[in-house]
């Protein structure tokens, strides 16, 4: 499964202690979902902002789609405006938990279309979730749908990058 001619979607994660960059190809069908865990909510906000900025910096419309599910209290207006201006951010600003759940079902449907080769030319979709805690309150059906996305989405160009606090990650 997957796409035979995938374009590389590099993500600069930072630098190693030796100064060399740490880079990932988000369009690699073998790349597992990425999860950041921290004790500090502010660190996760900064990490999410770094990822969004990095994805936006070198991209233009049609190359990538980014769906951002963020905390209501987080202000990423500068970096989200840049992504919107380039036409690569799916606007999820006015999201409610219920709408986020519905959107995850929509992403799973898109993945199924890609598996059926009906969306083969679709750009990679990066599902960037600043706070994975909302999933705890979701229905078992949605939790299974999200688990399926985590297991198989990367094969068809749908990559998940999520963050959660240590406390929430163990509940």
d(CA 171, CA 166): 9
In this structure, what is the dihedral angle of CA atoms 16, 21, 22, 27, given to the nearest 10 degrees? 180
pTM of the model: 0.83
- Name the nearest CA neighbour of 162 among 74, 47, 59, 63: 47
Confidence of residue 5 (pLDDT cuts 50, 70, 90): low
Q: Give the tens place of pLDDT for each residue, 114-169.
A: 888 866 678 889 999 888 887 888 889 999 999 999 999 998 889 999 998 887 65
Q: Give the tens place of pLDDT for each residue, 84-102.
A: 777 777 755 555 666 777 8
């Amino acid at each position: 499964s997957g796409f035979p001619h995938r374009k590389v979607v590099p993500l600069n994660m930072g630098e190693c202690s030796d100064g060399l960059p740490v880079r990932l190809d988000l369009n690699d069908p073998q790349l597992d979902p990425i999860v950041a865990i921290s004790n500090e909510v502010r660190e996760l906000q900064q990490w999410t902002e770094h990822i969004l900025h990095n994805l936006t910096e070198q991209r233009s419309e049609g190359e990538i789609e980014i769906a951002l599910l963020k905390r209501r209290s987080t202000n990423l207006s500068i970096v989200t405006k840049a992504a919107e201006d380039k036409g690569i951010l799916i606007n999820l600003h006015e999201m409610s938990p219920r709408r986020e759940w519905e959107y995850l079902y929509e992403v799973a449907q898109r993945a199924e279309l890609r598996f059926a080769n009906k969306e083969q030319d679709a750009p990679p979709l990066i599902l960037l979730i600043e706070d994975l805690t909302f999933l705890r309150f979701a229905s078992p059906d949605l939790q299974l749908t999200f688990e399926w996305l985590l297991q198989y989405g990367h094969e068809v160009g749908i990559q998940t990058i999520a963050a959660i606090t240590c406390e929430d990650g163990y509940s």
